[in-house]
């Protein structure tokens, strides 16, 4: 039996002292599986969270990290799609092929009870790898599965940004740097915040037009709003804590892609929002176009509004009281 090296979390531990390098048998792929010889694995913020939170690890000796690139090393039975030597990257979630995501999204590779990729060899479902872009090295390709896909989805998913749009990315983390690059790719203008003076020039060299230090400027969103007249998209990699300033930066009709779930005192359950890929949309009544569409739908379908109470012109006080009573089922109308 040949052995390989892999990293595991020691059960119940927090931080890097809980990481252990051990020898383990090289795993054999079963039906529908492939074995990948890992050539590069990449860290994300979420791996730090899992490191520091044993409750996110349901398996006693979980293998960490979700993102890797490597080559197919052995192919299990019933896998026509892959050949030995194919260059692949890991896929973060199982079963999430197109939008919307499945009802029960896992936490991805390297969390809960799904072993990650920080091993010399890993066995994955054949559907849990995708071709690595041929122009990228293994090191480069390993950065894509989480940070790359997240930024792409936020910018090019249901509501793609385009030429001339303004995109704000928060901080200079992995997702944000992909966000900058993908925005520029689409001809959009990119703006960024950072709390780190030294990273300013890096952000500028990647094409950020404006950079605001969120530590020196607590109202960074308002500042971005003033500088730009409002951005079309915010990639909020912080989460609930950054919503107010993200809104301040946004133009009317703009979109905030909520990506981060950093610690926050907000009652908004951001984790549930992310897992459902839910869309929260602000509504300010609606336009004349909306009225026209509604009106013709009412006509087409013979819909009748529900009226609970009709009162006379001089019964305005009664109308208010009836409305405030909470007893009515339908609208209160004053008929003249």
Ligand X SMILES: NC(=O)c1ccc[n+]([C@@H]2O[C@H](COP(=O)([O-])OP(=O)(O)OC[C@H]3O[C@@H](n4cnc5c(N)ncnc54)[C@H](OP(=O)(O)O)[C@@H]3O)[C@@H](O)[C@H]2O)c1
Decide: is 90 part of the binding site for ligand X (CB under 6 A): no
Residue choice 9, 82, 121, 214 for contact with ligand X (CB under 6 A): 214
Decide: is 45 part of the binding site for ligand X (CB under 6 A): yes
**Burial (CB count within 10 angstroms: exposed 0-12, middle 13-18, buried 19+), residue 169:** buried
Q: Contact region for ligand X (CB under 6 A) — 58-66, 115-123, 131-139, 234-242?
A: 234-242
Decide: is 237 part of the binding site for ligand X (CB under 6 A): yes
CB of 47 to ligand X, least distance (A): 8
Q: Which is nearer to ligand X, 149 or 161 (CB)?
A: 149
Residue choice 194, 234, 254, 256 for contact with ligand X (CB under 6 A): 194
d(CA 180, CA 165): 12
CB of 275 to ligand X, least distance (A): 9
- How many residues can be counted in the chain? 336
Element of type H or E holding 258: strand 250-258
Decide: is 201 part of the binding site for ligand X (CB under 6 A): no
With a CB cutoff of 8 Å and minimum separation 6, the contacts of 222 are 245, 248, 249
Decide: is 108 part of the binding site for ligand X (CB under 6 A): no
**What DSSP string runs through 19-63?**
EEEEEEEPPPP-TTEEEEEEEEEE--HHHHHHHH-GGGB-STTPP
Decide: is 183 part of the binding site for ligand X (CB under 6 A): no
Residue choice 61, 186, 199, 219 for contact with ligand X (CB under 6 A): 199
Instruction: Annotate 76-106 with b (16+ C-beta within 10 A) or e (fewer).
Output: beebeebeeebbbbbbbbbeeeeeeeeeebb
Decide: is 189 part of the binding site for ligand X (CB under 6 A): no
Decide: is 118 part of the binding site for ligand X (CB under 6 A): no
Q: Greatest CA separation found in the chain? A: 92
Decide: is 46 part of the binding site for ligand X (CB under 6 A): yes
* Binding residues vs ligand X (CB under 6 A): 44-46, 146-147, 150, 170-175, 193-196, 199, 214, 237-238, 242, 259-262, 274
């Amino acid at each position: 039996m040949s052995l390989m090296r892999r990293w595991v979390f020691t059960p119940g531990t927090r931080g890097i002292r809980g990481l252990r390098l051990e020898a383990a048998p090289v795993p054999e792929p079963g039906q529908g599986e492939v074995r990948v010889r890992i050539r590069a694995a990449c860290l994300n913020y979420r791996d730090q969270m899992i490191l520091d939170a044993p409750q996110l690890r349901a398996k006693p000796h979980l293998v960490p990290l979700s993102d890797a690139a490597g080559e197919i090393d052995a192919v299990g039975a019933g896998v026509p799609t892959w050949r030995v030597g194919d260059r692949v990257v890991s896929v973060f979630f199982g079963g999430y092929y197109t939008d919307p995501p499945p009802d029960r999204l896992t936490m991805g590779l390297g969390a809960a009870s799904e072993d990650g990729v920080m091993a010399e060899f890993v066995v994955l479902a054949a559907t849990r790898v995708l071709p690595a872009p041929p122009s990228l090295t293994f090191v480069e390709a390993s950065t894509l599965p989480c940070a790359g896909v997240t930024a792409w989805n936020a910018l090019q998913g249901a509501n793609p940004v385009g030429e001339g749009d303004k995109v704000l990315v928060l901080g200079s983390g992995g997702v944000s740097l992909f966000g900058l690059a993908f925005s520029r790719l689409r001809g959009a203008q990119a703006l960024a915040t950072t709390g780190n003076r030294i990273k300013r020039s890096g952000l500028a060299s990647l094409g950020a037009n404006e950079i605001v230090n969120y530590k020196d400027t607590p109202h960074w969103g308002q500042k971005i709003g003033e500088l730009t007249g409002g951005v079309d998209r915010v990639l909020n990699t912080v989460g609930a804590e950054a919503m107010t300033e993200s809104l301040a930066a946004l133009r009317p009709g703009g979109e905030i892609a909520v990506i981060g779930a950093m610690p926050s005192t907000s009652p908004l359950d951001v984790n549930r929002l992310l897992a459902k890929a839910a869309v929260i949309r602000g509504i300010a009544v609606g336009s004349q176009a909306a009225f026209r569409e509604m009106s013709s739908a009412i006509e087409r379908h013979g819909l009748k509004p529900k009226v609970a109470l009709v009162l006379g012109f001089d019964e305005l006080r009664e109308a208010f009281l009836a409305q405030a009573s909470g007893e009515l089922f339908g609208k209160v109308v004053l008929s003249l």
